[in-house]
């Protein structure tokens, strides 16, 4: 049995060789490079055979030897390697990859299996140039530190002169010699201070460069994904009888290893999906005036601190009617709702579990899993996925993820003795809070920002820390407006300190689980500072009860919407008697116009109205920023269970039947929603 450390080195080398073999066999099939690919493949198979024998893995060595035997006749021959031989070589590569995977420890019970082509990138070789750059930076830092040591030695000499001066002051009266000594020491100290400052600045720069090089070493090139993806396209095309050429660009972009592995899995689904659902059969393409061979393109590009993966095909495009039917068949949406979906909303259904437009189940498609995985991966790594399609022209799906999840640009916020980081991209702005800025809406603390109410939470609340009623954190001076997905929230703080690039470390298990925390940052003294998770903050702010008792705020303003004059006057009199301001609207359209011009705390709406009915109006309030978060009450003569269900689905917070309510119950319901 070979030494375990030797196995580790073998697995690193063998996986690289398997990737190279797969890439060059596919290149051989395309006719790339004349005789050179055969010679390169022979060298790779021979190297793999020798390495396998060193660690006593005869099965891998035998397969590699068989590959040599198959390739040798083509080394000095102009004869094209047949498709049958290419297929056999790829099968041998798969067998080697499977044998290498068998060397890994078994997965924990219940852990999902992983295709052999998409092994985790936990260990990779580092280029000599990259190591040279890192070594150069470390060496330069050592030089700067040596200069700082010399500066410290100069300061020591001044200390010795000060000791001598102290002795002179003790033994004799001050004279010209003493003044000269003092001036010499002043100049020496000034020179030492300037020298130390310069060296410290230079050392900071060198350390930053070393850190940048280390960060770069942690990021792996996206080119590691290409062989497996090209193989996935080839296998899908062969299975389905399609002709496809695969183009790639952006091979030198870099990502963290665990992100790269997961993105590789998502991209494998995308390229297979492009072949299965996009590229038409050769006869169909020719009939439509297209080349018989379709194209799948994978473009990888970096935009600031994000990387975009775009998978595009020149196929038939997505049949939105087929998507609607598939979603209805899977009970994802009702037939009535599917019929009125916008094209964009219908397109979004392709990411729903089980939704597939494939007419039959085969090895490549039909289970409706692939695109669900794509969206899950994007969400897991704080990214997004979008899709565009043109009938008869093709489809493009884009995944966007951060370059690094552990290294982020963040802003440090403080409240009292609490400090916490928030990702800078999530912070919209900071604003100063007046005495009555925080109000209570529906039992929750809220802040009116840009004409609408958004949740408010104090920094102490995010860390489960109780605050005294009159403590600084209970009356924050500032609010950082934080964006989580498409939502906004206000985070109460005392100060915004500074922004910086930070490395986020996971919290230790002993710290317990606090969902609002994403990890920790260590300051220059090694003290941990917590990093907040914007999405979890939003969830916490929506669920946490209001703890702040504000000064009496403005009177809540209610908009009553009813086409009946009698009902409008009755509701107005009840609400005004209860201390509320009331405006009236005669239709849903009239209410929409009034809501654009003024902020309301509550809508009280009839159901049966000409034009936009009450269900539609309540649903629309959830689509526009200026009405988002404003509660609605439906007041109607319709008391059936189906109507109540429709009201709840539309988003109404209460449903009152006109013939059953009283003045007191009406006011109790309203006060429960707006205070």
Q: Kindly tell me the burial class for residue 630, based on how many C-beta atoms sit within 10 Å of its own C-beta (0-12, 13-18, 19 or more).
A: buried
Whether residues 317 and 387 fall in one domain: yes
Q: What's the CATH number where 563 sits?
A: 3.40.50.2300
Q: Are the C-beta atoms of residues 486 and 659 closer than 8 Å to each other?
A: no
- pLDDT bin (cut points 50, 70, 90) of residue 546 is very low
Q: What's the CATH number where 73 sits?
A: 1.20.120.160
606/608 Cα distance (integer angstroms): 6
Whether residues 561 and 538 fall in one domain: no
Degrees, nearest 5: CA angle 123-126-131 = 140
Of 51, 85, 113, at which residue does a domain stop?
Answer: 113
583/593 Cα distance (integer angstroms): 12
Residue 76 is assigned to a structural domain of this protein: yes
Residue 305 is assigned to a structural domain of this protein: yes
Give 675's contacts (C-beta < 8 A, 6+ positions apart): 439, 440, 441, 442, 443, 556
Whether residues 441 and 466 fall in one domain: yes
Q: What pLDDT does 550 receive? A: 39
Residue 128 is assigned to a structural domain of this protein: no
Whether residues 584 and 661 fall in one domain: yes
Q: Are the C-beta atoms of residues 455 and 446 closer than 8 Å to each other?
A: yes
Sequential DSSP letters for 417-451: TEEEEEEGGGEEEEEE--TT-EEEETTEEEEEETT
Residue 195 is assigned to a structural domain of this protein: no
Angle (deg, nearest 10), helices 58-71 and 36-54: 160
**pLDDT digits over 368-418, tens only?**
566 877 888 888 787 889 999 998 999 999 999 887 766 778 899 888 778
Does 107 have pLDDT greater than 60?
A: no
Give me the mean pLDDT over the 156-171 stretch: 69
Q: Are the C-beta atoms of residues 300 and 307 closer than 8 Å to each other?
A: yes
Of 514, 543, 572, at which residue does a domain stop?
Answer: 543
Q: Which of 76-80, 214-218, 393-397 has the highest mean pLDDT?
A: 393-397
Does 123 have pLDDT greater than 70?
A: no
- The mean pLDDT of the chain is 78
What domain count does the chain have? 4
Q: Are the C-beta atoms of residues 611 and 588 closer than 8 Å to each other?
A: yes
Q: Which residue has the higher pLDDT, 531 or 464?
A: 531
**pLDDT digits over 665-675, tens only?**
888 888 888 86
Q: What pLDDT does 549 receive? A: 39
Q: What's the CATH number where 271 sits?
A: 3.30.565.10
Give me the mean pLDDT over the 232-250 stretch: 91
Q: What pLDDT does 300 receive? A: 94
Give 561's contacts (C-beta < 8 A, 6+ positions apart): 584, 585, 586, 587, 588, 590, 591, 603, 604, 605, 606, 609, 614, 617
Whether residues 362 and 228 fall in one domain: yes
Give me the mean pLDDT over the 548-558 stretch: 63
Q: What pLDDT does 89 receive? A: 92
Q: Given CA atoms 637, 639, 640, 641 in this order, what sign does their dihedral have?
A: positive
Whether residues 45 and 105 fall in one domain: yes
Q: Are the C-beta atoms of residues 15 and 41 closer than 8 Å to each other?
A: no
Q: Which domain holds residue 34?
A: 4-113
Whether residues 283 and 309 fall in one domain: yes
**pLDDT digits over 457-516, tens only?**
888 777 654 444 444 445 678 889 988 867 888 898 988 888 887 777 766 554 555 667
Of 347, 370, 402, at which residue does a domain stop?
Answer: 402
- pLDDT bin (cut points 50, 70, 90) of residue 521 is confident
Report helix, strand or coil for 659.
coil
- pLDDT bin (cut points 50, 70, 90) of residue 597 is confident
Residue 182 is assigned to a structural domain of this protein: no
Beta bridge partners of 604: 560, 633
Does 97 have pLDDT greater than 80?
A: yes
**pLDDT digits over 135-163, tens only?**
566 655 655 666 666 667 777 777 777 77
Whether residues 319 and 386 fall in one domain: yes
Whether residues 394 and 414 fall in one domain: no
DSSP E strands, 215-277: 219-221, 244-249, 254-256
Does 35 have pLDDT greater than 60?
A: yes
Residue 437 is assigned to a structural domain of this protein: yes
Q: Which residue has the higher pLDDT, 438 or 549?
A: 438
Whether residues 241 and 324 fall in one domain: yes
Residue 534 is assigned to a structural domain of this protein: yes
Sequential DSSP letters for 290-350: S-SSEEEEEEEEEETTEEEEEEEE-S----HHHHHHHHHHTTSS-HHHHHT--HHHHHHGG
| Sole residue written with tokens 């552990």 | 406
Q: What's the CATH number where 516 sits?
A: 2.40.50.180
Q: What pLDDT does 79 receive? A: 78
Q: What pLDDT does 214 receive? A: 63
Whether residues 457 and 490 fall in one domain: yes
Does 281 have pLDDT greater than 90?
A: yes
Whether residues 72 and 100 fall in one domain: yes
Output the six-digit token pair for 259. 């992100």
Residue 172 is assigned to a structural domain of this protein: no
């Amino acid at each position: 049995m070979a030494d375990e450390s030797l196995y580790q080195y073998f697995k690193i080398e063998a996986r690289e060789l398997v990737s190279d073999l797969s890439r060059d066999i596919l290149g051989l099939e395309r006719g790339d490079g004349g005789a050179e690919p055969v010679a390169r493949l022979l060298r790779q198979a021979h190297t793999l055979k020798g390495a396998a024998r060193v660690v006593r893995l005869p099965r891998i060595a035998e397969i590699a030897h068989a590959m040599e035997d198959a390739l040798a006749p083509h080394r000095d021959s102009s004869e094209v390697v047949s498709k049958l031989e290419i297929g056999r070589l790829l099968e041998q590569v798969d067998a080697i990859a499977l044998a290498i995977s068998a060397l890994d420890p078994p997965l924990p019970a219940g852990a999902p299996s992983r295709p052999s082509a998409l092994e985790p990138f936990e260990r990779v070789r580092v280029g000599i140039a990259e190591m040279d750059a890192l070594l150069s930076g470390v060496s330069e830092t050592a030089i700067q530190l040596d200069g700082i040591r010399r500066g410290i030695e100069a300061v020591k000499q001044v200390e010795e002169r000060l000791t001598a001066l102290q002795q002179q002051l003790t033994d004799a009266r001050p004279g010209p010699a003493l003044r000269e000594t003092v001036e010499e020491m002043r100049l020496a100290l000034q020179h030492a201070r300037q020298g130390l400052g310069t060296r410290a600045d230079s050392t900071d720069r060198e350390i930053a460069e070393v850190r940048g090089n280390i960060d770069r070493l942690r990021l792996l090139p996206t080119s590691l994904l290409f062989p497996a993806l090209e193989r996935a396209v080839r296998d899908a095309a062969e299975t389905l009888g399609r002709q496809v050429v695969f183009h790639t660009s952006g091979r030198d972009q870099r990502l963290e290893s665990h992100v790269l592995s997961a993105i590789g899995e998502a991209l494998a689904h995308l390229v297979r999906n492009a072949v299965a659902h996009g590229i038409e059969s050769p006869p169909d393409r020719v009939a439509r005036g297209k080349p018989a061979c379709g194209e799948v393109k994978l473009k990888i590009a970096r935009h600031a601190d994000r990387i975009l993966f775009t998978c595009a095909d020149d196929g038939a495009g997505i049949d939105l009617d087929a998507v609607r039917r598939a979603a209805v068949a899977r009970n994802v949406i009702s037939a009535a709702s599917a019929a009125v979906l916008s094209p964009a909303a219908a397109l979004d259904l392709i990411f729903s579990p089980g939704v597939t437009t494939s007419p039959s189940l085969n090895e490549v498609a039909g289970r409706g899993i692939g695109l669900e995985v794509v969206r899950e991966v994007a969400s897991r790594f704080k990214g997004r996925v979008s899709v565009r399609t043109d009938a008869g022209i093709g489809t493009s799906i884009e995944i966007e993820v951060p370059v690094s999840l552990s290294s982020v640009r963040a802003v440090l916020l403080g409240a009292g003795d609490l400090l916490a980081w928030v990702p800078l991209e999530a912070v919209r702005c900071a604003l100063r809070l007046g005495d009555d800025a925080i109000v209570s809406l529906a039992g929750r603390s809220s802040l009116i920002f840009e004409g609408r109410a958004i949740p408010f939470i104090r920094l102490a609340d995010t860390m489960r820390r109780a605050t005294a009623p009159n403590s600084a954190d209970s009356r924050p001076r500032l609010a950082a407006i934080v964006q989580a997905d498409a939502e906004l929230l206000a985070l109460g703080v005392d100060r915004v300190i500074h922004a910086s690039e930070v490395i986020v470390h996971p919290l230790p298990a002993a710290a317990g689980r606090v969902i609002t925390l994403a990890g920790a940052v260590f300051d220059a003294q090694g003290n941990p500072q917590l990093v907040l998770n914007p999405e979890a903050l939003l969830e916490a702010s929506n669920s946490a009860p209001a703890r702040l008792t504000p000064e009496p705020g403005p009177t809540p303003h209610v908009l009553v919407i009813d086409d009946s004059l009698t009902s409008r006057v009755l509701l107005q009199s009840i609400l005004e008697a209860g201390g509320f301001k009331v405006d009236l609207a005669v239709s849903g359209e009239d209410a929409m116009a009034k809501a654009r011009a003024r902020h309301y705390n509550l809508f009280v709406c009839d159901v049966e109205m000409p034009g936009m009915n009450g269900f539609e109006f309540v649903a629309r309030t959830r689509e526009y920023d200026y009405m988002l978060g404003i509660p609605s009450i439906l007041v109607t003569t319709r008391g059936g269970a189906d109507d109540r269900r429709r009201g709840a689905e539309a988003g109404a917070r209460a449903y009152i039947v006109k013939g059953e309510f009283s003045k007191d119950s009406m006011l109790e319901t309203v006060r429960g929603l707006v205070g």
